Amino acid sequence: MELNFPELDGPVAQRGIGIIAPFDLALERELWRWAPLEVSLHLARTPYEPVPVSLEMAELVSDAAHLTAATRNVLHVEPEVIAYLCTSGSFIKGLAYERSLRDTICRAGARDAVTTSGALIEAVHTLGLRRLSVITPYDEILTGKLHDFLREAGCEVLRSDHLGLGGGIWKVGYRTIAERIMAADDPDAEAIFVSCTNLPTYDLVAPLEELLGKPVLTANQLTMWACLGRMKLPMMGPGKWLQNVF
């Protein structure tokens, strides 16, 4: 008897992205919403550290030994690119440090590497941005490090807001996030950057871009955009300024 079911020709050929996430990431489901059907995400986490979200935590989760181990944990499934999915961990010590994190991941065996803050700079350059508004869930010290990072990359932060959270960032509701984004907007800002891969933003991007008339760039969005761009694949979901520009 001959089998004649089209689905037996599948599954769709899988293309992988490796994700190195901080131990407290709770938004895996948001990442999948940016990905095309043929893309699979393979996650590894940094070791648990009993500290609140802070400069100390950002330093701990970006430790080179942790990134090396996490990279090797996903190599067997042959990802085309590996992303370090942490904004603060990749901006705390400037542009050279961000590059060193990508170098560490590649030395551990990755074909290509992305960091969230590196993806931010790629988007800034791609869109020709020079003036930003910023919102973060962090404390003032960590938020200041983001300002320093952007300044080094040639971007002026015109207005900034931070939530001052030491944990539970993924529990913040959309209403609160939307209100803080709108409050952080400056009329002269060319875009708004919403930091932290653990802050939920997916469903806010399109309506806020429509309302504010400018790009609303978020950490998970930019990370997936940079990874998919290297794979010559389109980014799914909202973010009209970033569609088809890689």
* 111 and 195 part of one domain: no
> How many Cβ atoms from other residues are within 10 Å of residue 68's Cβ?
16
Confidence of residue 9 (pLDDT cuts 50, 70, 90): low
* Mean local confidence (pLDDT), 78-106: 98
1, part of any domain: no
* 194 and 227 part of one domain: no
Contacts of 182 (CB under 8 A, 6+ apart): 208, 211, 212
Indicate whether 6 pLDDT > 80. no
Q: Are 149 and 178 contacting, i.e. CB atoms less than 8 angstroms apart?
A: no
* 179 and 225 part of one domain: no
- For 153, the token pair is 């990359």
Indicate whether 241 pLDDT > 80. yes
* 50 and 106 part of one domain: yes
CA distance 21 to 170: 14
CATH number at residue 69: 3.40.50.12500
Contacts of 209 (CB under 8 A, 6+ apart): 215, 216, 238, 239, 240, 241
* 84 and 134 part of one domain: no
* 102 and 196 part of one domain: no
Indicate whether 4 pLDDT > 90. no
Residue 193 bridge partners (DSSP): 134, 217
* 113 and 150 part of one domain: no
For 46-60, b/e burial (b = at least 16 CB within 10 A) is: beebeeebbbebbeb
Q: List, for residues 192-237, the tens digit of each pLDDT value.
A: 999 999 999 999 999 999 999 999 999 999 999 999 999 999 999 9
CA distance 192 to 153: 16
* 87 and 129 part of one domain: no
| Structural domain that includes position 189 | 120-218
* 36 and 128 part of one domain: no
Q: For the chain, what is the domain count?
A: 2
Q: List, for residues 22-79, the tens digit of each pLDDT value.
A: 999 999 999 999 999 999 999 999 999 999 999 999 999 999 999 999 999 999 999 9
